[in-house]
């Protein structure tokens, strides 16, 4: 009994103590309400921030779509871009713009953008590619053939100049007139005319004796007269050769013989073409004029310099490693491809030329082995009188590149133009057309030179339509739209 009374007393005491604590802390209920209010406020603030972030991200995506020329995300699926900006060459089927807008490797081009970058598309197919080496080359004249010096045949005074520099000159065309002043030439003409007269006299006497007959005139007299006539004939022929040696032409000597007058002036004409050039439509042009009217010139003085550029050489400089392929091409009669730049209306031109010769030594300084290609030229007339002034499409000193093929061949891969592949660090990309978008596709490069890129075969790309040009421009646009740093040298091969 005492135990129960004790427990009852303790319980009563505990209750009294709790009531006393509650009565001693009157702010307990307001403190609990403030905690609930703070928690509720934080939750509401988090919800507001989340909603604000979604709205900002939606605006950001729309801005990116605008920079990439894509439709904003709120457009309905399947709607194409505005017809005024849609490229007419792209397929007309409907694309999912939301999927493309979320894809950072896809770009959509307007018709204006397509034209601005000069985009050309093509179908991907496999082919073989022979690796090649580009070596420097230059157009040079043919030694002993391209330049013709016109010397003064005799000593005299220049009385007439019939041509000017850069004139087109035909074989046999008069160039200069000289008044003869050399004493040897005057003496040679005097002796020639004198013995022409003696020859004629001896011939008349011989004819007279033969007409009388051997019955009246002794035969010995006729024989002696024949000897005299033959002697004069030989002297005349010797003097004729003397005049030819002094620079007179055969026709000029004949004129002296026919007219019986001294030749006071001599005309210097252009020489004929060499036999190796008869199959080429040709003309000289006067490269340099060495005298003027009134000049006194000695025999052998250079009056002018003519140039025949109808056929030139391309001098290439190969490396020692290319010697084998070069000699193989020469033995098989294979032509060498040459790229010429700045040749008239076009910026560049590709030529296939025959090998003329290969040097038998390696240059000690450059360690290059020279080889020569035949370069047929083309006339270009210029000036108000197009028949008078002559120009040539290819000129000595013009720089070119010769392409030497090696024995390394890449088989059954993609051979693309250099502008179809863009590189960014270790990665390389092409742009595959997908409706009105172009998707950036990563590829593997096996070989690359200035003009072509060999890409490892990818069966998924066979038959696809890709951009054959402007890959760098589209890659740059994607990086700009994504806000990443732009490498100005990306995709360029130096």
Q: Give the pLDDT score at 65.
A: 46
Domain that holds residue 198: 150-305
Looking up tokens 């060459």, which residue turns up? 89
Asked whether residue 361 carries a pLDDT value surpassing 50, the answer given is yes
Average of per-residue pLDDT across 169-196:
89
Establish if 398 belongs to a structural domain: yes
Residues 300 and 312 in one domain: no
Residues 6+ apart with CB under 8 A from 193: 256, 260, 262
Domain boundary among 249, 284, 305: 305
Asked whether residue 382 carries a pLDDT value surpassing 60, the answer given is no
Residues 156 and 300 in one domain: yes
**Per-residue pLDDT tens for 229-287?**
999 999 999 999 988 888 788 888 888 888 888 888 888 999 888 754 444 456 788 99
Establish if 345 belongs to a structural domain: yes
The pLDDT mean for the chain works out to 78
Written as one string, the DSSP assignment of 233-268 is HHHHHHHHHHHHHTT--HHHHHHHHHH-----EEEE
Number of domains in the chain: 2
**Per-residue pLDDT tens for 127-167?**
999 888 889 999 999 998 899 999 998 889 999 999 998 88
**Per-residue pLDDT tens for 444-460?**
999 998 889 999 999 88
Percent of the chain topping pLDDT 70: 74
Burial state string for 95-117 with b = 16 or more CB within 10 A and e = fewer than 16: bebbebbeeeebbbbbbebbeeb
Q: Give the pLDDT score at 47.
A: 64
Residues 379 and 232 in one domain: no
Q: Give the pLDDT score at 103.
A: 55
Taking the whole predicted model, whether its pTM rises above 0.75 is answered as: no
Residues 320 and 279 in one domain: no
Residues 291 and 354 in one domain: no
Average of per-residue pLDDT across 204-214:
82
Domain boundary among 285, 305, 325: 305
């Amino acid at each position: 009994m005492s135990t129960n009374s004790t427990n009852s007393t303790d319980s009563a005491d505990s209750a009294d103590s709790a009531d006393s604590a509650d009565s001693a802390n009157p702010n307990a209920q307001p403190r609990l309400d403030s905690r609930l209010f703070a928690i509720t406020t934080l939750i509401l603030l988090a919800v507001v921030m989340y909603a604000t972030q979604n709205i900002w991200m939606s605006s950001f995506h729309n801005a990116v779509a605008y920079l990439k020329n894509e439709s904003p995300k709120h457009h309905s699926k399947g709607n194409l871009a505005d017809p005024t900006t849609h490229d007419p060459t792209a397929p007309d089927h409907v694309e999912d713009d939301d999927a493309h807008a979320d894809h950072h490797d896809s770009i959509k081009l307007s018709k204006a953008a397509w034209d601005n970058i000069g985009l050309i598309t093509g179908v991907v197919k496999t082919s073989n590619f022979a690796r090649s080496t580009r070596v420097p080359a230059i157009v040079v004249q043919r030694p002993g053939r391209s330049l013709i010096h016109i010397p003064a045949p005799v000593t005299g005074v220049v009385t007439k100049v019939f041509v000017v520099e850069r004139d087109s000159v035909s074989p046999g065309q008069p160039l200069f007139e000289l008044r003869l002043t050399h004493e040897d030439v005057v003496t040679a003409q005097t002796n020639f005319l004198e013995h022409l007269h003696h020859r004629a006299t001896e011939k008349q006497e011989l004819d007279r004796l033969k007409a009388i007959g051997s019955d009246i005139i002794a035969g010995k007299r006729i024989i002696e007269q024949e000897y005299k006539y033959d002697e004069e004939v030989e002297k005349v022929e010797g003097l004729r050769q003397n005049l030819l040696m002094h620079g007179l032409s055969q026709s000029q000597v004949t004129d002296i013989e026919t007219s019986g007058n001294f030749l006071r002036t001599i005309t210097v004409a252009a020489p004929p073409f060499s036999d190796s050039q008869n199959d080429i439509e040709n003309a000289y042009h006067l490269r340099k004029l060495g005298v003027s009217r009134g000049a006194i010139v000695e025999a052998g003085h250079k009056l002018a310099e003519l140039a025949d550029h109808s056929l030139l050489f391309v001098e290439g400089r190969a490396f020692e490693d290319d010697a084998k392929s070069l000699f193989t091409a020469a033995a098989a009669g294979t032509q060498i491809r040459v790229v010429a730049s700045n040749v008239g209306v076009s910026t560049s031109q590709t030529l296939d030329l025959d090998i003329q010769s290969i040097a038998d030594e390696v240059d000690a300084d450059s360690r290059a082995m020279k080889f020569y290609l035949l370069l047929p030229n083309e006339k270009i007339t210029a000036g108000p009188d197009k028949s008078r002034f002559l120009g040539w499409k290819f000129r000595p000193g013009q720089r070119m590149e010769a392409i030497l093929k090696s024995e390394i061949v890449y088989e059954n891969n993609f051979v693309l133009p250099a502008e179809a592949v863009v590189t960014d660090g270790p990665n390389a990309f092409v742009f595959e057309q997908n409706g009105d978008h172009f998707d950036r596709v990563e590829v593997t490069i096996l070989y690359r030179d200035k003009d072509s890129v060999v890409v490892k075969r990818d069966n998924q790309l066979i038959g696809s339509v890709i951009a054959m040009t402007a890959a760098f421009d589209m890659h740059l646009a994607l990086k700009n739209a994504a806000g990443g740093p732009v490498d100005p040298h990306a995709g360029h091969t130096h």
